[in-house]
């Protein structure tokens, strides 16, 4: 698995295999989701896989 800095460098130079991208589990649905280009600057802050999960998050 590649680190965030390595992903940023690799996306500018060549195509990265989807299997090499980092994954996380959604806090709402617990399904895994993979890194996306639009999340490259805030990947550490991404918690939900979709807008639907973000709006339906459980309230503590």
Residue 52, both tokens: 């639907």
Q: Residue 1 has what pLDDT? A: 58
Alpha-carbon distances, residue 4 vs 11, 24, 42, 44, 53 (angstroms): 11, 13, 10, 9, 24
How far is Cα 1 from Cα 29, in angstroms, rounded to an integer? 23
What is the pLDDT, as a whole number, of residue 9? 64
Q: What is the pLDDT of residues 5-47, one digit of tens each?
A: 666 666 555 677 888 889 999 999 999 999 998 998 999 999 9
- pLDDT at position 11 is 57
Between residues 52 and 6, which one has the greater pLDDT?
Answer: 52
Cα separation of 14 and 52, whole Å?
Answer: 32
Distance CA 5, CA 38 (A): 15
pLDDT given for residue 15 in this prediction: 78
Residue 42 tokens, joined: 């805030």
């Amino acid at each position: 698995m590649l680190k965030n800095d390595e992903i940023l460098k690799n996306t500018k130079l060549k195509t990265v295999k989807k299997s090499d991208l980092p994954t996380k589990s959604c806090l709402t649905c617990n399904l895994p989701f993979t890194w996306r280009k639009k999340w490259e600057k805030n990947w550490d802050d991404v918690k939900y896989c979709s807008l639907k999960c973000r709006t339906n998050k459980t309230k503590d």
